[in-house]
Every structure is written in C-alpha cells, then in structure tokens.
C-alpha cells in the first residue's frame, strides 16, 4: 500500500509540473476584448486622436488620457461607408468621431504637390455640386445616422492651399460644400461640418485672410471652423505662438466654435512645444476640440530632408504623453 501511495504521489507531482510548465494560454478577458472608455460627460474641450477604435484603449492607457473623439481620413474613391468604424467607436464608449473627408483619389506623396494639385475628373467641385457623387454621398450618410453620437465631417480641408485638387475654383468649392452639407444633413441629423483651413504661416495674415474668405460657404452651412496646427520642423519650424493670430482671426471673422482638427509636432523640442500648446489652449475657451495626429504626413514626405522628424510616438514618450494628458484634463474642467 505504501508503494502504491508513493507511486500516486509521484504521478500527481509529475502532472502538476507538466501543467505548470505549459505555455500560458491567451484568454480573452473583457478588459482586452471589449474595454470601454469613459470620457468626461460634458468636457469644455474634447481631446481627439487619429487612432482607429480597435486600438484606442491601448493608446489611452499608454498616454494616460481618455480621448472623447476618434478621428480618421477617408477618401471618396474608397466608395464605402464608415459604419463599422463608428460601431466600434460606439462600443468603446466614445460618442464623437471626426472624419477628414477627402473628395478625390489620393495621389502618392512621392509624386509631389504639383501632381497632387491637378483636378480629378468626377471629383471636381462643380461636378460634385451637380450631383456626380450623390450615390456615394447618400450611402455614406446612411452609414452615419446609426451612430449614437456626433460625427464631425472635415470636408475638403485646407482648401486655401495649393496641394489638393479641390482648392481650384473657390466659387465651385462653395457650391460643392453647400450641396454636400444639404444632402448629408437630410439623411444624417447627427452629422456636423467643420470648415477647416490651413494657417499658411508662410504668407502674411492679410493676404491669407482675404484668400480664405473666397471659400466661405456661409454661416448656415458650417457648424465649426477648423485649422491645422503642426510644427513640421526644418524649414517649417513653427512655434505655438505663431498659430495664435490665425486661430483668433478664424474665431473673430466667422464667429463659430473652433476645432484644431489636426495637430502634431516634430520630435525636437516636443515636450516644450506641447507645454506651450497647453498654455495657448487655456486662453482659448472657444477652441472646443483638438485632434492629435501622428499618422504618416504627406507634408513631411514631400519636404524630404527639409522637414523635421515627425515619426515619433507620444504613446512611447512619457514626458510628451504627460503634456498631452494634461491638455485632456484641462478640457474636462
């Protein structure tokens, strides 16, 4: 009996050792599979991020900030809705989305701005105004209305530049804008439109303001105005202070809430730049949202060696993340 008992003890020990040395199994827990974020219910300023909703929980954990909005770029040429993107956004507990909605077929950045600026048949402003894209627009709008929140559409952004084809023909741009807004609003009442300019810091503020005004579709057709705020580095090294007059001009001229619809900075001096951004925002209560973007940049690709380094990640930089998290906290008050 003692021999049998000893054999059984040895057998149990071997089985336990075998189990303990097996590779750990991946178990999909609620936190890893369907974690929900809890953005502030009524922030004075929303932090958004250009990260898809399938990865936003990890981004929030790494940065230490809870975004209230996720953002993406979407071109007309993809001929699809973003219903799946919005469903996942909603599942993650986020109730705002920003879409930089581009009426074109994207041109490879390596071809340069001259090629990128060429008008594209089927996507010209007057063609859109005449209904050439109505089938797509209606399908896209139907994909928005099931979302239990607000979808901000940054349609045909940076129209006052010379690198996107929709910048041709400002009068046609206004017609296209009004047509798109009217059609989408009739189908998706939760859609809001952001008329988003480029600050064009390389030109004096007077000519910039005059040129921009030609694209204004009218207050009834715009829910918010926006601007890009990016320090590219190199020959386009821009301090935060340089953006202030442009942002104030947008607010003063058009009288709409202001969104910083795309923001980033070069790696060099990033922590100080973000601290300055935070200080600027504290003095601008009418800036209701800021969207952080570290997606690959067309501008950087086209500038080549003349640009700074934008391919760093705030999610892997504790000091920079702390500044961005502070911006998020400021907005919750």
Is the pLDDT confidence value at 215 over 90?
yes
The count of C-alpha atoms lying within 13 angstroms of the C-alpha of 281, restricted to the half-sphere facing its C-beta, is: 30
Summarize pLDDT for 37-66 with one digit per residue, the tens: 999 888 999 999 999 999 999 999 999 999
Nearby residues of 117 by Cβ (< 8 Å), 6 or more positions away = 162, 163, 164, 165, 167
Summarize pLDDT for 274-289 with one digit per residue, the tens: 999 999 999 999 999 9
Task: Give the pLDDT confidence score for residue 34 in this predicted structure.
Answer: 63
Q: Which residues pair with 224 in a beta bridge?
A: 194
Q: What is the mean pLDDT of residues 58-76?
A: 98
The CATH fold assigned to 45-331 is TIM Barrel (3.20.20)
Summarize pLDDT for 175-205 with one digit per residue, the tens: 999 999 999 999 999 999 999 999 999 999 9
More confident residue, 35 or 34: 35
Summarize pLDDT for 263-319 with one digit per residue, the tens: 999 999 999 999 999 999 999 999 999 999 999 888 777 777 778 999 999 999 999
Nearest C-alpha neighbor of 288 from the set 20, 47, 76, 18 = 47
Strands 150-155 and 69-75: unpaired
Would you say how long the chain is, in residues? 333
Give me the chain's average pLDDT, please.
91
């Amino acid at each position: 009996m003692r021999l049998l008992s000893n054999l059984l003890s040895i057998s149990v020990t071997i089985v336990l050792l075998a189990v303990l040395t097996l590779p750990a199994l991946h178990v999909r827990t609620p936190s890893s599979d369907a974690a929900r974020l809890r953005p502030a219910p009524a922030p004075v300023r929303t932090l958004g991020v250009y990260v898809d909703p399938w990865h936003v929980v990890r981004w929030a954990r790494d940065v230490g900030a809870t975004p209230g909005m996720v953002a993406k770029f979407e071109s007309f040429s993809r001929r699809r809705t973003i219903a799946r993107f919005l469903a996942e956004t909603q599942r993650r507990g986020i109730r705002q989305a920003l879409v930089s909605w581009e009426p074109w077929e994207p041109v490879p950045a390596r071809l340069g701005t001259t090629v990128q600026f060429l008008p594209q048949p089927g996507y010209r402003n007057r063609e859109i105004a005449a209904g050439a894209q109505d089938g797509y627009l209606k399908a896209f709008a139907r994909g928005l209305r099931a979302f239990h929140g607000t979808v901000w559409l940054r349609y045909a952004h940076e129209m006052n530049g010379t690198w996107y084809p929709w910048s041709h023909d400002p009068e046609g741009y206004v017609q296209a804008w009004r047509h798109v807004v009217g059609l989408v609003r009739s189908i998706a009442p939760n859609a809001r439109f952001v008329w988003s300019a480029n600050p064009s810091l390389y030109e004096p503020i007077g000519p910039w303001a005059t040129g921009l005004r030609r694209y204004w579709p009218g207050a009834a057709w715009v829910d918010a105005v926006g601007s890009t705020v990016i320090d590219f580095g190199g020959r386009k090294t821009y301090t935060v202070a340089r953006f202030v007059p442009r942002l104030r001009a947008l607010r003063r001229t058009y009288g709409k809430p202001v969104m910083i619809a795309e923001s980033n900075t070069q790696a060099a001096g990033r922590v100080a730049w973000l601290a300055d951004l935070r200080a600027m925002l504290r003095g601008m209560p009418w800036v209701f949202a800021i969207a952080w973007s570290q997606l690959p940049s067309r501008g950087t690709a086209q500038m080549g060696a003349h640009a700074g380094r934008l391919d760093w990640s705030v999610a892997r930089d504790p000091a920079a993340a702390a500044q961005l998290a502070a911006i998020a906290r400021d907005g919750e008050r």
